[in-house]
């Protein structure tokens, strides 16, 4: 008979989101214990076993936990919570399944491949800004503007609006991460983003083009097509989920590769480009935790997780599960066996934009490696301290 997790003698653990000053996020993953598949953290359960984390992500009885996290954050405006729940990323149930089935037509590998030349052009233009001595903050010079510029092109929005998209996204995500002082600004940012996208959607309805917005408008299955509001929700989610994430994952990749010069040199090989991206996603995922809440009591192994319990999936720790692969704490882009990492999640909530993100990471590294034979650290990396997305806020490097 299963025991309620609070009575199951599970070991306690520290908060997977805590990051000591000056420490790389993956040092925390390396310390994570795997003597149990799950741990307690106050009233929450932390799942660190890779197999068990996949099981939770595959089980539709577990719904998104971000809403509960926002509701439990003191000072969070209920208006902001309701607004976020309207978004594609926080939907669950039949509505989510229908929307995802239709929208997925616009996110195939072939659809992402169309934009690889744009990605190379964008990174090439950013690489032109690296000074003659090669010394720069790679975040400000290269990674910050890269995904937003690409997404503008992917959606068919003018590149002049790159900074607008970036500012609106950052404002909304800061509020979602638990910064109440940003709530009024975040609500206004949501309204501004919606108005902008609705104008763009109306233009594409009149005159479709070869871009993602037109793909979403055209997409159709036996369940029908997306309404204008659903196209808006999906497009806003692309901007929200595809900017802060990719810029930080690319910056993490550059930090790691500056530590591993042989792996940087090996990027001239096409196969190594792709395997390096997968290893970065496993070794140091930007989404270090995923939150889920069961809608009914769920038995997992010999533990009952009661309805409404906050389940914290320790993605970084699960990717280091010794049951997953050999040498889990080694950064090894040359691995011949690909791990089933959780860098893009898993199951019915697997990242819809994974093909686009993978392409952006591969093409960004391709351009930089072709331009610069070597890269090295030129000062300490400064790491983001809060939020659901982690990564460098300053990354001094020297490219030669």
Kindly report the three-state secondary structure assignment for every residue of 292-334.
EEECCCEEECCEEECCCCCEEEEHHHHCCCCCCCCCCCCCCCC
The total number of structural domains in the chain stands at: 1
Average pLDDT of the chain is 87
Assess contact for 251 and 156: CB atoms under 8 A: no
Question: Residue 177: is its pLDDT beyond 60?
Answer: no
Ranges assigned E (strand) in the chain: 3-4, 38-41, 44-47, 62-64, 135-137, 220-221, 224-225, 289-294, 298-300, 303-305, 311-314, 375-377, 382-383, 392-394, 396-399
For residue 87, give the DSSP letter.
S
Residue carrying structure tokens 């030669």: 400
pLDDT, residue 180, reads 57
pLDDT band for 97, please (50, 70, 90 cuts). Answer: confident
Least confident of 257-261, 305-309, 389-393: 389-393
CATH number at residue 206: 1.10.630.10
For residue 387, give the DSSP letter.
S
Range of the domain at 229: 3-399
How distant is the alpha carbon of residue 296 from its chain centre?
28
Assess contact for 210 and 114: CB atoms under 8 A: yes
Distances (CA, A) of 46 to 8, 63, 309: 13, 16, 11
pTM of the model: 0.92
Phi (first) and psi of residue 225, to 5 degrees: -120, 170
């Amino acid at each position: 008979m299963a025991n309620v997790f609070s009575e199951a003698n599970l070991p306690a653990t520290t908060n997977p989101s805590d990051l000591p000053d000056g420490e790389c996020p993956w040092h925390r993953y390396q310390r994570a214990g795997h003597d149990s598949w799950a741990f307690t953290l106050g009233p929450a359960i932390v799942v660190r076993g890779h197999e068990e984390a996949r099981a939770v992500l595959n089980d539709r009885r577990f719904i998104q936990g971000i809403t509960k996290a926002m509701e439990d954050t003191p000072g969070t405006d209920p208006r902001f919570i309701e607004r976020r729940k309207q978004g594609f990323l926080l939907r669950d149930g039949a509505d989510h399944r229908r929307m995802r089935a239709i929208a997925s037509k616009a996110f195939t590998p072939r659809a992402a491949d169309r934009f690889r030349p744009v990605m190379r052009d964008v990174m090439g233009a950013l690489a032109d800004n690296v000074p003659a001595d090669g010394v720069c903050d790679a975040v400000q010079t290269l990674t910050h503007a890269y995904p937003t510029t690409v997404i503008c092109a992917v959606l068919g929005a003018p590149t002049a609006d790159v900074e607008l998209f970036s500012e609106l996204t950052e404002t909304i995500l800061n509020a979602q991460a638990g910064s109440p002082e940003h709530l009024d600004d975040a609500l206004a940012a949501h309204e501004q983003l919606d108005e902008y996208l609705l104008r763009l959607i109306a233009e594409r309805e009149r005159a479709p083009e070869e871009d993602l917005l037109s793909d979403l408008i055209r997409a159709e299955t036996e369940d029908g097509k997306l309404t204008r509001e659903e196209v808006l929700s999906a497009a806003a989610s692309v901007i929200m989920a595809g900017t802060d994430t990719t810029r930080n994952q690319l910056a993490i990749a550059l930090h790691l590769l500056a530590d591993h010069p042989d792996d940087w040199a090996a990027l001239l090989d096409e196969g190594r480009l792709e395997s390096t991206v997968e290893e970065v996603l496993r070794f140091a995922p930007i989404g270090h935790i995923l939150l889920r809440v069961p809608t009914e009591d769920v038995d997992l192994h010999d533990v009952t997780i009661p309805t409404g319990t906050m389940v914290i999936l320790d993605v970084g720790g699960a990717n280091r599960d010794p049951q997953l692969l050999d040498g889990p704490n080694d950064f090894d882009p040359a691995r011949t066996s690909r791990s089933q990492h959780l860098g893009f999640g898993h199951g019915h909530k697997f990242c819809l934009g994974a093909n686009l993100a993978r392409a952006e990471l591969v093409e960004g590294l391709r351009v930089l490696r072709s331009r610069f034979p070597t890269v090295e650290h030129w000062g300490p990396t400064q790491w983001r301290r809060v939020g659901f997305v982690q990564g460098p806020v300053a990354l001094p490097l020297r490219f030669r």
